[in-house]
Amino acid sequence: MRQILAHSRNLARRLILSCLLAASVTIPAIASAKPMILATIAQLGEPMSRILGDCATVETLLGPGVDPHLYRLTRSDVAKALQADGLMANGLNLEAQMRDMFDRLSARKPVIYAGELLDPTKIVLTGGVVPDPHIWMDPRLWAEALAASAAAAAKAFPACVPSVAQNQAAVLAEIAAVDAYIEARVASLPPSARVLATAHDAFGYFGKRYGMTVLGVQGISTESEAGVAHIRDMAQTIYDRRIAAVFVETSTAARAVDAVIEGARALGAIVTKGPALFSDAMGPPGTYEGAYVGMLDHNATSVVRALGGVAPERGLNGRLNTARQVKDTSG
């Protein structure tokens, strides 16, 4: 009897829930003219929320430390994506586990893939074949992707046209300022020290833009583990080229980097583990490093200082959290 009661209570609950869901889908369309746009990565969500300003609400799906290559949508993410009036993603296979869902939803609402709006000749191809999705690492290119995404959003939601016209220039000017800062700071490094060794191949666009050689312990996606032979080769390169620091990332595991550092030290290298860089995720929302410009400032300032160049401890805008800059010399 108790079971039957529980069963019917569940049924009733489910019925109420489905009514609520149906209601929540129709009410915003009638009552609120302000669209909600769901962005996957914060590198997209944070600047877009500023560019779109009051005309839309931009929510970011992936928080600090979350790896977009591996992330699978939860049930509440799916509910959010269903409720959203528009979706924004990087594309180019960054959000590998979300693509099917987003493509299916594109029949019902605008879905904007920022990286795929760029001139394809500007996309770096790994091994000449696979598009590198980490475009935000080149601020000039990311500014183009943001402007193209804003134009697409304004087309889909015409109420956003004045907001974009009003806000976009200021956001892009801040990005141009951090780009100039990074260029000047990297130039303070001796050419032989311009090597950026990190946990995975997220910094290809950064290396191309600022003239640094980039070495990733893992490949372009975090889906495949680094092999023993690759770790050994990388340790040898670090020793041979006298590379002073190898960097971990906030969204990937550190163990492969630890293995490389250990291997290089066994060969006699003097190498430190640099501060954790923001590769595929940013800092906590509301902090300086939780904004796109702050994330870039943190990365560039940390890298330049750890490799022996000149950069102010608190970065371009004097706002960096210095606790994040601490190098781990213990390995």
Contact positions toward Zn ion, by CB under 5 A?
202, 280
Tokens of 122: 């500007």
Identity of the residue, 35 or 133, whose beta carbon is nearer to Zn ion in the bound complex: 133
Shortest Å, Cβ 46 to Zn ion? 18
- Smallest gap, in angstroms, from Cβ of residue 60 to Zn ion? 17
Strands 130-131 and 125-126: antiparallel
CA distance 229 to 290: 36
**Strands (DSSP E) along the chain, which ranges?**
36-39, 57-60, 86-89, 111-113, 125-126, 130-131, 195-200, 213-218, 245-249, 272-277
Q: In angstroms, give the least distance from the CB of 220 to Zn ion.
A: 7
The minimum distance between CB 184 and Zn ion, in angstroms, equals 26
Least separation, in Å, of the C-beta of 67 and Zn ion? Answer: 7
Helix ranges, 187-290 (H): 204-210, 228-240, 255-266
Q: Shortest approach of Zn ion to residue 133 CB, angstroms? A: 7
Nearer to Zn ion, 217 or 316 (CB): 217
| Least separation in angstroms between CB 90 and Zn ion | 10
Quickly tell me which residue has 């090597």 as its tokens: 195
Q: Which is nearer to Zn ion, 55 or 260 (CB)?
A: 260
Query: Distance between CA atoms of 29 and 22, rounded to whole angstroms?
Result: 12
Any idea what the Cα angle at residue 82 is, between residues 75 and 38, rounded to 5°?
95
Nearest approach in angstroms of CB 16 to Zn ion is 42
CB of 219 to Zn ion, least distance (A): 9
Q: What are the helix (H) ranges across 53-127?
A: 75-83, 99-105
- Identity of the residue, 138 or 280, whose beta carbon is nearer to Zn ion in the bound complex: 280
| Residue carrying the six token digits 């890298």 | 303
Amino acid at 44: L
CA 84 from chain centre, in angstroms, equals 21
**Cβ distance to Zn ion smaller for residue 56 or 202:** 202
Whichever of 242 and 255 has its CB closer to Zn ion, that residue is: 255
In the complex with Zn ion, the residue whose CB is nearer, 56 or 199, is: 199
Q: Classify strands 111-113 and 86-89 as parallel, antiparallel or unpaired.
A: parallel
Q: How far apart are CA 169 and CA 180, in angstroms?
A: 16
CB of 167 or CB of 299, closer to Zn ion:
299
Provide CB contacts within 8 A for 278, sequence distance 6+.
Answer: 249, 250, 251, 289, 295, 298, 299
Nearer to Zn ion, 174 or 280 (CB): 280
Using CA atoms, how far apart are residues 247 and 257, in angstroms rounded to an integer? 7
Q: Among 80, 302, 37, which Cα is nearest to 196's?
A: 302
Kindly state the DSSP code that residue 328 receives in the 8-state scheme. Answer: B
